[in-house]
Amino acid sequence: ATPTALMVGTGRGAQLGILIKGPEVLETTRTADTVVLDKTGTVTTGRMTLLATHTTATTTEAEVLRLAGALEHASEHPVARAVAAGAAGRVGALPAPEDFTSVPGLGVRGVVEGHTVVVGREQLLAEWEITLPPALETAKARAESAGRTVIAVAWDGEARAVLEVADAVKATSREAIRRLRALGLTPILLTGDNKAVAASVAAEVGIPPENVIAEVLPEGKTDVIKHLQAEGRSVAMVGDGVNDAAALAQADLGLAMGTGTDAAIEAGDLTLVRGDLRAAADAIRLSRRTLGTIR
Ligand code: ADP
Ligand code: MG
């Protein structure tokens, strides 16, 4: 392409809310045939709400929200924000944790008021040989089949509760995916969240069930991209989280949500300024129009 065409394309991108790191990016944008979409914060709003708390017989909801809320208050994850906000709303001021560790894609662990607290996926509790009692297991299964994200709360070596959180699909996601498919791209939903939640989001936005990859740890996201590339695909990845940064860098084309984390924006080749997935389809169309004539 002529430098003028590339400059015009880059300028037109800015008008559409697409920030392009360099003119050469338009070439990989044009050739992408597969688009991997992170779920939370990309296809969904990422603004989660705490919907319900299920406790064991010997635990009160107030205790659970106080300890889990205190720990999650120190985390930036959308699930953590929902738990901290829900807890603060119900039990008031939360104590400051004495110790805090974030385990990406799994949850958080720390010390609150002398208790060793773990909040996150069941898999995280399993690392400390903590299992859910049958009543909590049942509550979890029921909530997951309703498309909710379920996280467990344990302290001092014992599971105490499960929390239900959920967020909404963005109003623009379904149309964006329809447009990406019309441009000939295969959409794939990739998430660390559970299979039931992933399936319900996919159905809502028109991604076929066989194109859903769930329960993937952050390192695993990069492997999924590599695997698709090994099949000979040219892979675009859209993401917003710290957890998506490595996968965005590995992808042939990384598209970061402008509403997401700095880590994602730095790793991406392109930023969708308004966090609207339809701009991903605009970027593909723009690059094809800018470069199409010279091929
Ligand atoms: P996604 O790929 O959809 O953006 P993540 O990989 O960030 O999701 O997280 C995967 C799952 O790990 C979440 O759905 C949640 O169950 C759990 N998780 C991650 N961070 C936290 C946290 N701070 N507190 C509780 N659960 C968490
Ligand atoms: Mg995300």
Q: Which CATH number fits domain 49-166: 3.40.50.720, 3.60.20.10, 3.40.1110.10, 3.10.20.880?
A: 3.40.1110.10
Q: Is the CB of 191 under 6 A from ligand 1?
A: yes
Q: Is the CB of 173 under 6 A from ligand 1?
A: no
- Alpha-carbon distance of 242 to 165, in angstroms, equals 20
Please tell me the pTM assigned to this model: 0.85
* Residue 282 annotated to the active site: no
| Ligand 1 pocket test, candidate residues 48, 109, 193, most atoms within 8 A of CB | 193
| pLDDT score of 2 | 76
Which residue owns the Cα nearest ligand 1 atom 21?
Answer: 107
Q: Is the CB of 107 under 6 A from ligand 1?
A: yes
User: What is the strand order of the sheet 253-257 is part of?
Assistant: 18-20, 270-272, 253-257, 235-239, 34-38, 186-190, 212-213
Query: Which atom of ligand 1 is found nearest the CA of 216?
Result: 6
| pLDDT score of 4 | 81
Ligand 1: centre distance to CA 77 (Å): 7
Query: Which atom of ligand 1 is found nearest the CA of 221?
Result: 2
For the CA of 79, the nearest ligand = 1
The alpha carbon of residue 7 and the mean position of all alpha carbons in its chain are separated, in whole angstroms, by: 33
Q: How confident is the model at residue 295 (pLDDT cuts 50, 70, 90)?
A: very low
Residues 94-118, mean pLDDT to the nearest whole number: 97
Q: Please report, as a single letter, which amino acid is at residue 50.
A: L
Query: Which atom of ligand 1 is found nearest the CA of 103?
Result: 20
- Long-range contacts of 99-104, Cβ-Cβ distance < 8 Å, separation of 24 or more: 100/71, 100/74, 100/75, 102/74, 102/75, 102/77, 104/217, 104/218, 104/242, 104/243
| pLDDT score of 294 | 38
Q: What is the mean pLDDT of the chain?
A: 94
Residues 33-52, mean pLDDT to the nearest whole number: 95
Query: Which atom of ligand 1 is found nearest the CA of 46?
Result: 4
Which residue owns the Cα nearest ligand 1 atom 4?
Answer: 40
The percentage of residues in the chain with a pLDDT greater than 70, rounded to a whole number, is 99
Per-residue model confidence as pLDDT tens digits over 131-159? 999 999 999 999 998 889 999 999 999 99
Write down the CATH number for the domain with range 3-45+169-292.
3.40.50.1000
Q: What is the dihedral of CA 65, 68, 71, 77, to 10 degrees?
A: -100
Which residue owns the Cα nearest ligand 1 atom 7?
Answer: 105
Per-residue model confidence as pLDDT tens digits over 59-87? 999 999 999 999 999 998 989 999 999 99
Q: How confident is the model at residue 293 (pLDDT cuts 50, 70, 90)?
A: very low
For the CA of 245, the nearest ligand = 2
> End-to-end CA distance of the chain, in Å?
9
193, pLDDT greater than 50: yes
For the chain, the domains span: 3-45+169-292, 49-166
Ligand 1: centre distance to CA 243 (Å): 9
Per-residue model confidence as pLDDT tens digits over 243-283? 999 999 999 999 999 999 999 999 999 999 999 999 999 99
Which listed residue (38, 244, 276, 282) is catalytic?
38
- Pick from 61, 70, 165: nearest CA to 109: 70
Residues 283-290, mean pLDDT to the nearest whole number: 89
| pLDDT score of 1 | 67
Ligand 1: centre distance to CA 16 (Å): 31
Per-residue model confidence as pLDDT tens digits over 201-252? 999 999 999 999 999 998 899 999 999 999 999 999 999 999 999 999 999 9
